[in-house]
Amino acid sequence: MQISNSLVAMEGSNRMNNFIFENTTKVYFGKGCVKEYLACLVKNYDKNVMFCYGEGSIKKNGIYEEVAAILKTTGLAVYEFAGIQPGPFYSKVLEGAEFARENQIGLILGAGGGSVTDFCKAVSIAAKYNGDIWADFWESPGVFGFEPLPVGIIPTVSGTGSECNGRTVIINDRLKIKTGRDYMQCSPRFALLDPSYTYSASKSQVISGGFSTLSHVMEIYFSGLDGDNVTDDIAEALIKNIIRNLRKAIYNPGDYTARSNLMWAAVVAADRITKAGKRGSSWCCQMVHQLEACTGCNYGTGLAVMLPVYYRHIYKDRLAKFCRFAVNVWGITKEGKSDEEIAIAGIEALEAFIKETGLPSSLYKPGMDKTGVIEETAVLCGAVPGSYNKMPYKEVIGLIGECF
Has residue 324 got a pLDDT over 60? yes
Helix (H, G, I), strand (E, B) or coil at 145: coil
Averaged pLDDT for residues 46-69: 92
Question: Quick one: which H or E segment has residue 29?
Answer: strand 26-29
Has residue 69 got a pLDDT over 50? yes
Residue 212 in contact with residue 159, Cβ under 8 Å?
yes
Task: Find the range with the poorest average confidence among 34-38, 161-165, 375-379.
Answer: 375-379
Averaged pLDDT for residues 50-65: 91
Residue 206 in contact with residue 170, Cβ under 8 Å?
no
More confident residue, 159 or 15: 159
At 126-160, the pLDDT tens digits run 999 999 999 999 988 999 999 999 999 999 999 98
- Closest by CA to 74, choosing from 111, 28, 37, 43, is 43
For 182-314, where are the alpha helices, taking DSSP H only? 203-221, 230-251, 256-270, 283-295, 299-314
DSSP assignment, residue 113? S
Averaged pLDDT for residues 9-15: 48
pLDDT score of 325 = 97
pLDDT score of 282 = 65
Strands 167-172 and 26-29, bridge-based pairing: unpaired
Has residue 12 got a pLDDT over 50? no
Residue 308 in contact with residue 350, Cβ under 8 Å?
yes
Mean pLDDT of the chain: 88
> Which domains, ranges and CATH numbers included, belong to the chain?
26-198 (3.40.50.1970), 203-401 (1.20.1090.10)
The DSSP code sequence of 320-382 is HHHHHHHHHHH----TT--HHHHHHHHHHHHHHHHHHHT--S----TT--HHHHHHHHHHH--
Residue 117 in contact with residue 123, Cβ under 8 Å?
no
**Distance (Å, whole) CA 289 – CA 303:** 9
pLDDT score of 6 = 36
Has residue 8 got a pLDDT over 70? no
DSSP assignment, residue 31? T
- Closest by CA to 10, choosing from 254, 228, 202, is 228
Strands 151-155 and 105-112, bridge-based pairing: parallel
Has residue 7 got a pLDDT over 90? no
Strands 167-172 and 177-182, bridge-based pairing: antiparallel
Averaged pLDDT for residues 73-99: 95
Task: Find the range with the poorest average confidence among 258-272, 372-386, 388-402.
Answer: 372-386
Query: Residue 385 — very low, low, confident or very high, per pLDDT cuts 50/70/90?
Result: low
